[in-house]
Amino acid sequence: MTVTANDLVGTLSGTTAHGLALGFAFIFVGSLYVSNHTRLSFDHNVKVSVGGYQRIKQNNERWRDDPDVIRARLAAVSIASVICCAIVGYLLSDLTHSKSSGEVFKLAAKHLGFASAGPILSHLVTPVLFLGPLYAMFLGGDLPFQQHWDCEREGAKFTSWIGIRSYIFAPFTEELVFRACVCTVYHISGTSTSRMIFLTPFTFGVAHAHHAWDTYNRYGRNTEALKRAILGTIFQLMYTTLFGFLATYIFLRTGSLLPAWTAHAFCNVMGFPNIGWELQAYPHRRKQIIAVYLAGVVGFAFVLSRWTFTPDSIFWFPSP
């Protein structure tokens, strides 16, 4: 008898799901430190200046934006992502007692969001939320094919190692592990969609805390650098967790990894909205900027459930 996704719900304990979720995070983040090629190194003998500025990189140091470090880390998180997916596959095989690798593969693809691309409109939900920043870019002539947009420069931005990591690879692998793998084990444990939306993103947020060490060293290893590292980590924890709420909702609602991936990539490209700077830069358009920001929030609330509805999502009840 063929086992369906619904047959598995409740076959895993909540404690086991928590342990697996933490294990996925440990495997992913830990992969960045298992090798000398992936680990960062800092010269602690360098005299640093104060003033809140990033210090000059030394030749004997390895920073996170160095091309060789990025390449090594991309390889490491690729292996880590495959391991996490393999654990999910083994779990499904064990719970279904299936001897058919093809059946387990299809079931794993369904849970991990590879079985469909999701509704086309689901990929536009996040851009609606960013209507305000997009309007500010329009005012500055920075949107594609406007006067300040340069095709060669923008192309280089996405094809550099930093761009490949930040806009393509990191969004995909992070969504695969922290969204698909984590949500899969919680779904199998019978965790409700609301609990998954509001609890699982904390794992994603905390997984970024290791960046504090990098910030502390790059900004001088002093009290000011420590404050910057702590505040930066808290801020990153907040916005990665907030984004995690959205990405988890999109993933569960669509049952597809692709919309969560494109949302993640889009947010990385846009960065955190800076309405204060935009109001100062375009004082003659202050009211319009505020109005478009509000329109984006209202529009986002209106389209979120409508544009992400997917009748065959295994994670959501079949009603809009």
Whether residue 48 is contained in a domain is answered as no
- What was the pLDDT predicted at 320? 41
Whether residue 317 is contained in a domain is answered as no
Confidence of residue 318 (pLDDT cuts 50, 70, 90): low
pLDDT digits (tens, 9 = 90+) for 210-266: 889 999 998 888 888 899 999 999 998 999 999 999 999 999 999 999 999 999 999
Range of the domain at 200: 5-43+56-308
pTM, two decimals, is 0.93
pLDDT digits (tens, 9 = 90+) for 87-117: 999 999 999 887 788 889 999 999 999 998 9
Whether residue 49 is contained in a domain is answered as no
At which residue do the structure tokens 């997917």 appear?
Answer: 310
C-alpha span between 111 and 123 (Å, rounded): 19
Residue 50 predicted with pLDDT over 70: no
The chain-wide mean pLDDT, for the chain, equals 92
Whether residue 292 is contained in a domain is answered as yes
> Residues of the chain with pLDDT > 70: what percent?
96
- What was the pLDDT predicted at 3? 66
Whether residue 319 is contained in a domain is answered as no
Tokens of 24: 């996925």
> Percentages helix, strand, coil for the chain, rounded to the nearest 5?
70, 0, 30
Beta bridge partners of 41: 62
Whether residue 209 is contained in a domain is answered as yes
Tokens of 298: 């209202």
Over residues 263-279, mean pLDDT: 95
User: In total, how many domains does the chain have?
Assistant: 1
At which residue do the structure tokens 């536009």 appear?
Answer: 124
Confidence of residue 319 (pLDDT cuts 50, 70, 90): very low
Mean pLDDT lowest among 48-62, 269-283, 297-311: 48-62
For 238, residues 6+ apart whose C-beta sits below 8 A from its C-beta are 205
pLDDT digits (tens, 9 = 90+) for 116-137: 899 999 999 999 999 999 999 9
Whether residue 113 is contained in a domain is answered as yes
Count CB neighbours of 136 within 10 A. Answer: 24
